[in-house]
Amino acid sequence: MARVSTNKDLHKAKDAKKDEFYTQLSDIERELRSYEGHFKNKVVYCNCDDSYESNFFKYFALNFNFLGLKKLIALHTTRQDTRKAVRASKNIKYE
């Protein structure tokens, strides 16, 4: 069973500068299972802190063909500077 974060935990993490909290992949899979048919031929845009760490981006990348996505776009700000970095995928075949 997953541990539930409390407000006290969040304040401790903020004070310790460990304020990156990511939604679990299993939670995303469970929630989006009900919406699978809604993604066919759609463009999914993920605005995330780090697309390499984002479980939302990971979910859509791993299920690109299954969901029938048209395009997957992730936008994030790099840590080294404030320029926007865009990663777009078109006609990806994940097998």
Coil, helix or strand for 7?
helix
Longest dimension (CA), the chain: 45
Mean pLDDT in residue range 52-56: 84
Q: 25-32 and 55-62 are packed helices; what angle lies between their axes, rounded to 10 degrees? A: 60
pLDDT tens digits along 14-43: 666 554 567 889 999 999 999 989 999 999
Give residue limits of the domains in the chain. 38-95
The rounded distance, in Å, linking the Cα atoms of 90 and 72 is 7
* Alpha carbon separation from 90 to 52, 68, 86 (Å, rounded): 18, 12, 13
Backbone angles phi, psi at 85, to 5 degrees: -115, 125
pLDDT tops 80 at residue 59: yes
Is the pTM higher than 0.85? no
Residue 13 banded pLDDT, cuts 50, 70, 90: low
Q: What is the DSSP letter of 3?
A: P
